[in-house]
Structure 1
Amino acid sequence: MVKKYANFLQFVLFFIFLSVLPSQMYAQCAGIDASKVICDIELPVNTSISLFDLLGGSPTPGGTWKDDNNSRGLNTATGVLNGQLIRRGGTYKYTYTVLGVGGCTDNTSTVTLTIGAYPGVPAPFATVCSSANTFNLFTAFNSTVMGPHSNGSWTNSSGGSVDAVIPITGLQGSFDFTYTVPPVLPCDTAPLSVTVTVTIFRAPEPGTATDLELCGDTDLGSYTDLDLHTLLAGEDMGGEWNGAGLTSLTDHNVNLQEVFDDLGPGEYIYTYTVRSFPNTRICPDQTVPITITLEKRLDFTGAQIVVSSDICEDKIPTATYSATITQGPEAIPDGEYKVTFNVSGPNGGSTTVTANFVNGIISFPVDAAYFRQVGLYTIRVTNIAATTGKQTCVNIIDNLFDELNIYPLPHLDGAVMTTFPTCQNKDSVVQISNAAQLANGNYNIVYNITGDNFATGQTANINSFGGSFNFRIPGTLNVNSGVSNITIIKITNNVTGCTNVANIQGNLVINPLPNAATVRVAINDVCLNDPVSVSVSGLGNLTDATLSYTLSDSNSSTLQTAVLTVLNGNATFIIPAGLLLNIGSTTILATNLKNNSTNCDSNLSNVSDGFSINSIPLAPIAENQIFCKVDRATVTNLFPRGPQYKWYTSATSTTALAGTYVLKSEDLYVRETSLSNCTSAPTMISVIVNDTPAPVLNPGGADFCGLANPTIADLSRVTNVPSTVAWYDAENNGNLLASSRLLVHKAKYYGFDLSTVTDCISDTNLEVTVSLIDCDVSQYAFFIPDGFSPNGDNINDTFRIPDIEFLYPDYTLEIFNRYGNVMFKGNVNKPNWDGRNSESAGFGDGIAPNGVYFYIINFNKDNRKAQQGRLYLNR
C-alpha cells in the first residue's frame, strides 16, 4: 500500500514538473533587456555587433529586430548591427520580437547601445583646384577609416562658424578648419575636435571670351590692329595664342582687314591657352576659344521684284500670288536665303520666307491672306540674308518693291441718286452719293429715261471720288416739263474693265421758265461812297430770285448779279461800292431775272432807272494833340470843334465818340458832315497822353538811422529820380513836404515825379513807410545813465537810456531792487522808468525808495551779450 502511494506521489510530482517548468522557461522567450557602452566605435570590430548575443536570459532564436531610432546599420533579420554606419554619438534602442512561442508572456526585449562621439581622422593630404568653386570639408577625412559623426560643426582658423561646403573661388593657399562633435556620457566629458588642412591651388584663368561678328565690307576699318585680349575678361596674362594672322604664340594682335582680304569671309577661331602653375598637377591647363565671324555684304542694287498678278474683286477666293526677284549688276551666290518683306494694306504684315537663289533668280509664294479685300498693296523687300550666315552685314537693298492691285467691282449697291431740278430744254445734273463700295476712278454708265420724257440706252462718262459722282443729262432729253424717271442699269470701270449691273433710280423735275414782264427797278439819290439800295418790284409770286444788271453814264459796269429775297413781289439789294466811284447821274439797266427756286431765268427788256451821286466834303484839317494823363482830358478838348465835326476810334467806325470820352494815347479820326448830309473822309490825328512813371525806391531805401536825423531830402536821394521827386503827407490832397523836414519813424510818405521832358506829374505815386532803426552801433556812442531823480521837477525825472530805441530796437530792460524783486520791465514801447514799482506786489503806493537798483539789458542784436549794472535813485 505504501509503495503504491509512493509511486502515485512520484507521478504527481512529475506531472507538476511537466506543467510548471516549461511555463517558467518560455515566459521570457525574447530574453532579458541588455545595454552596452561603446566608446571606441571606430574600431573595426564594431562593424559587426551581434545584438542577439547581448541579450540576457535564454532568448529564442528566429525573432525579428527593429531599429527604434532609425539609426541605420541594422540587419533586422540577423540582428547584426554595423555601428560605424550610425552617424552620430548617443543612445540607441533596438527591440527584439519573438512570435509564435506558446506560453510566452514577454515576447520583446530591448538592447540599449551608447555610442561615444567620434570626430574622424583627417586625411594626410586635402588638395583642390580653385576652379571647383566649392569644397566639401568632409572629403578632407581619411577615407580608409570610419568617417566622422555628422552631428558636429565646423569653424575656421579664426573660430568663425562655416558650412561643410565652403566657397573656394579665387582662393589660394592652405587653410585650417576644425570639426567638433558634442560629447556623449559616459564616454566623453568634453567635445571632441580634429583639424583638417585644405590646400587650394589657383586654377589658370583663360578668361571669359566674347565672340565677334563683323561685316567684312563695312566694319573692319577699326580692326586692323585688334588686340585679342580685348575680347577676353579676367584672363591670366602670358598665355599662348593660335589663329589666322598671328605670327607667334605670343602674338595677340591681328589685322582682320588683311585676314578678310587674304582668306575671305568665314569663321576664324582664335584660342588662348593658360598653362597650370609649375610643379602641380592639381589644376589642368585651360583654353578658351574666340570665334570671329567675318561676312561679306551682298548688293541688291538694281534688283527687281515682280509680284503677279492684279485681279478684280470677284477673283479673290481663287487667286494665288508669287514674287520673283532678279539680281542686279552684282551676282548673288546660289544658295538658300531668307527674304523678309512687308505687305501694306488692310491685312498687311511682315513675313520672312526661305527660298533658293538659282542663277540670280529667286521665287517664292506670297500668302493670299494678305489680299483678302480690294485695295492697292505694296510688297516691299526689307532684307535678304543667307540662312547660313550670322547676318552681320546689312545687305544693300535699294527700294525693292512692287505693287499689286485688287480692283473692286464697280458696285453701286446702297447708292443714292439725287437729281437737281432743271428748266425746259436745259441740261440737268444727276448726283450719285453713298456709293461706299465704288472706288475712285473713271467709269461709263448706261441709263434709261422714262416718264414725261423718254429715252433708253443713254451713256455717260463719270469720275467717281469718295463714293460720289455727277453726270449730265442733255437739254435735248428734257423737252417736256414735269417728272422724268432716271434709272442707271450698268457701270464699267474704264481702267480695270470690270463691269457690274446696277439699279439706281431717281426722279428728275423739269420746271417751266419764269414770267418777268412786270419787273421794275428804282434808286434814290445818294452821297459818294454811301450804299446804293435798289428797289425791285413786280416780281409776282417769286420768293428767291437773281437779277442781272449793268450800270451806265457817270458810272458804268459789266454785267452784275444780285440775289433777291422777295416778299410780296418786292425786293431790295445794294450795288457794290466799287461800281460807284464817280459823282453825277448813273443809270441801272436790268437784263435778266432768274427764279432761284427753279434755277430758270428770263431775259428782261426796258427795265431801268436813273439816280444821282452827290459829292462829300473834304477831310478836316487837324493836328496831333498832347495832354497829361493827370489832367483827364476828354473829346471836348480836341480841335477842331463844332457840331459839324464828329470823332471816331477808327476810319470805318460809324459811331461817334461822346464828349465825355476820356482821352488816351491812340489814333482818333474826325469827319465833317455837309448840309446835304454827306460825310467827309476821316482825318487821323495821334492823341498823346503823357504819363510820368511813379518814382521807384532803391532796395532798402526806406531804412534810415534816426540818430543821423534823416530828412525828406535823404528820402529823395534813395529814389531813381532824386532831383524831381516831390513828397506829400497824403496820397490825395496832401501837403507838400519841405526837403529839410525830418523823417518820422513808421510814418508814410507819398512821392510824385514831375517830368522835365513832358512837364507832366506822375498819375500814380510811390508810397514809403520809413524805418529809423537801421543804425550801425559801431558808429554811435552809447552810454547808460547811472542814476535819476524822480522828484517832479521835470529834470531827470525818469530813467531812460538815450538813443537805445534806434541802436537796439528790440531791446528789453528789467530793473530789480536789492531783494531781487522786479520793479520795472521796459522796451522800445515803454522806455522810461518813473521810479515806481510796476511789476511786483506789496509796495504800497508803488513809489520806490531812494537807493541802489540793478538792471539787466538784453540787446537782441548783433549777438551782443546782455549787460548788467546799477543805478542810483535819489528823490
Structure 2
Amino acid sequence: MYAQCGGVQSVEICDMETVDFDMNSIPDGIINLYDEIGLTAEPGDVWTSTGSESATAVLNATTGEVRLWSLNNASSQYEFTLSSTSCAPDPRVTVDFTLGPYAGKATTTGFFSVCDLNDDCNGDIEIDIDLFETLEIREQEAPPHLNGTWTYTGSLSASDYRLEGSNFGGTVPYTPSDGSPVDSQDYTFTYTVDQQGLCVSESVDVSITLVRPPFAGYASNYNICATSIDTSWDRVINLNDDEYLNQENLDGSWRYQIDDDNFISISNQINLKEYVDDFLNSSEYMPGFGCHSFDFTYRVESRSAICFDDNATVSFTIFEDLKEFQQLNPPEEICTASDTRTSLDLYSLLEFQPGFEYQNPDDENEIVFWSFESGPAGAGDLGLNLFLNNTEISQRHRGTISLQNVTPGRYEYRYSVVSDTLCSGYRDQTLYGSNFCVPQISKGNPCGSISAPVIIDILDFDYAGEDTTLNFCITDTTGDVSLVSLLQDNGNTIDAGIWTETDTGVVVNDMFSFPDSVDDPLSFSFTYTSDNGTTCIDTAILQFTIYPEANAGNGADVSVCSDDLTITLFDLLIDNPDPTGVWFGPFGYTSPDHLGVFDMNDVTLPILGPGEYVYVVASNAGCPESDRTSVFISIEDPVEIGQDVNETFCIQDGSINLYSLLDRETVRTGMFQDTENTGALTTEGLVDFTLLPNPDNLVNPIYNFRYVVSNNIPCDESSLNVAIQIIDLPEPNVPDQEFCILDAKHLDDIEVDVLNYNWYTSLESDMPVIDNPILLDNQVFYITNVDADNCESDRVAVAINILNMGERFSNGELCTLDFQDGVSPDGNNQNDVFELVKEELGEAYNIPEAFPDFELKIFNRYGNTVYEGTINTEKFRGESNVSIRLGDDLPSGTYFYIFTPNFENNLPIQGSFYLSR
C-alpha cells in the first residue's frame, strides 16, 4: 500500500547558481527533495536535516523545499531524512546531499579601490579589509560559499601585506617629493572553494588598489585687535610656515575666500594689512562689525577619483576695538513724588556711538557688567544686585534698580564692557546686536576693556497735601473758604505753593467764594503745586461739587384710553424735576430709571394700571433731604368693536346690508361711512350693487366701507373696515350647435370656452342639468360661467340642430355614412363582424344609438336573404341567422346589405362588402 521504507538515495547539485525552481528563467536556488528523488508526498510526511552540516534553517519540513543560496558552505555532509507514519519508526527515505562549491563573482570593475586614513597623513597608511567585500552580493544571485581559502597571488613579499583568513591589511608609503602624481599599491588575490564529491572546485580572482588620500595639513587661527594691524601685521608672511600650516602635503595651492561661495587663487606670500584695508574700504564694512575673519585655504587635490580633495584654512579674525560711551547729561535727577516709575533701567541713561551699543548676547557669555560704586550711607544699591541675580544674562545689561521707598541722595554705578570675554567667530546682528561675534573658540578678545560711570540724584520734595474730593450741599455753603484748608494732609505740613485751574492752568487765589444758589450740581477742580526752588515739586488735586437740594417737581392727574397705554411718567412732571429719581406705583411697580416708560407694544415692559405713581428723588451728596411727587392715572375703556370684515358677493345678488356682516358682539350704535365715495351706500347701511362704479374696469373689484362708533374722551372713536368683492363673470361664448344624426352627440360633447360652467333647460330653471342627455333636434339649452364661489354669469342660449341622413351642414358637408367593405371572421379582432359603431376620421358613429329602431338585411349574390338584424340581434359575423340556413358559415364572396333607419326622414342605405375566410 505504501512505498518501501528505509531506503537511501544520493543527490548532488554542483551549479546551485543556475537552479531555477519556478522555471521563470530567473535563477532562485530552490530545489524540492521529492522531485530530486522521484517520490510523492504522503500524509504524515516530515523532512528533517540530520547530517553533520546543518540545513535546518533553509528546509521546509512539509514541502521538502531547500533554499540552497542560504547555505553558507559547500559540502558533501548534508543529509535529509523523510519520516512518515507509514514507516515508523524507520524513516521513509534518507537523502545524502552534496552541494557543489561556488566562489562568487568579483566586483564589476575587477578592482576594489580603497581610500582611507587612519594614521597621520605624513606617515604610511595602513588599512584593514575583509576580502569578502570584494565579491558582489546582489539580490536574485547566489552568494559565495564561506568555507573557501584566500591566497595572495601578487609579487610583493610577505612583509608588505598581512592576510589572516579573509582579513587583508596593506600599507601605502608616503613619497612627498619623488615626482609621482599618484601614491597607490595594487594587490591580487584568489578565492578557492574546494571540490565536493564529483563537483569540481571553483575559484575567483580579485584585485585591490589602495590609494593614499591627500592631506592639507593642520591650520592655525589668530585673533587680532584692529589697533595692532598697522604695527604688527604690515609685513609679508609665508602661509606655509609651520607657524600657520603644519604637516601639509607639498603639492597643494592657496586661495582666498571672498564670500561663502567664491574664492580667488593666491600665492603663499601675503600681507594681512592689505586685506584688512580692502575690507575697511569696501561696502561690506560698517561701524560695529565686531569682528571679521580673513580665511586663506590650502587645497590639496585628490590623487584618485575615489578620494576627496582636502582643505585646511588659516583664519585671521580681526576684532574691532571698543568705542567710548558715557552717561547722557549727568547726573540724572529723579523726584519720587512726581515720578510714577517703580524701577529704572540704568542702560537707558547711556549714550553710545552709532553702531556700538554693547549688550550681552543670548547665551552664557556675559560680556557687560553693572557695579554699584557709591551712595548715601546705609541706602544700599537700590536693589541692583537683586535684579541682576534674578535676570537672564541677555537682559542684565539693562541694570534695573528700584525707585520704591528710596533714600534721597547721590548714587553712582559703573557700566563695564569686558573684552576678555569676547571671542572669535562671525557676526549675527539679529541675535547678538551689531557689535558682537558668536562664540566659536575659547581664545579671548585681544582688544582692551572699557567702562563709564552713571550718576543718579534722588531728590527730596515739597509736600502739597493729598488729592481730595468733597461734596457740599448749597444750604451748607456761605461766604469764602481757604482752598488749602480743604486739602487732606494726613497730619503733615503743607508747604507753600500756588493754585491753578486743573483744566486751563489759570492761576487762582487761595480764597474761594461759594455761590448763593445752584440749579444743577456745580463741580470745581483745582491743582495745588508746592515748589521751594528745586527741580522736585509736588502737586495735589482738590475736586468738589456743590449740589442743590433734591427736586421731584410737581405731578398731575392724567386720564388715558385703555387701547393706548403708552406713556412716559417723567414727561408729565413740571417745575424742572431732577432726572435722578425712581417711580413707585400700583401692583408693585418700580421703574428702572427716572423715566417711568410704559409701552403696550413692548412685551418687556409692564402694563400701565390705574392709581397713584410716586416719583422719589434721593438726597444729593451733601444734602440730607429727599423729595417726592405723585401722578394719578385713570383709565377710560373704549367701546368694544369686532374685527374687520372681508366678504365676496355675486353681481346677481343685487345688494347687501352691511349691518348684517357685523358679528353679534359689535354694537349697532355706529354708522357706516362710504370711504371711497361710491354713492351706493344708504344711511341704513344698504349697498346697491348696480350703483357701484368701476371706472378702471377691474375684474371682480373690491369696495371698502368703514363702521364708526363714538367714544368718551380721551379715547378715539372705535372703527372697523368692511371690504366687499363683487364677482361679475363674463358670459361664455358658445354658438348654436349643428350635428349629424349619425354622431349621436350628448350635451357634454359641446365645446365650451370656459373652465367651469352649468347647463340649464330654461332661463328660469333653478337646477342645472346634471346628467348627460343625448342631443335632439330643435332643443335649446342655456349655459352660464361659474366660479369657485358658485357665482354665475348671465345665461346664454344654445340652439341644437340635428341633421338627418342625406341633409347637408351649413358648410355644405353631407350627413351620411359608408359601412365597412369587408368582413373576415378569423378571430384577429379586425373586421370580425359587420360593425354598426364606427370610427372615421376621428369621428365616432354610434348607429344603434342614433337609430334604435333600425333594420339590417344582408343578401348573397343570388338575392337570397342570409341575415336579418335589429338593435337586439347579434352582430353579423359570417353566419346566417335566417331559418333556411340558420347557423351555416357563409362562403367567401360578395354580399349586399340594406340598412333602414326607421326614423323620421332618414332614407335607407344600401351597399356591399366582401366576406373573406
Same fold (TM over 0.5): no
| TM-score normalised by length of structure 2 | 0.32
Higher relative contact order (CA 8 A, sep 6+): 2
- Work out which of the two has the higher radius of gyration on C-alpha atoms and give 1 or 2: 2
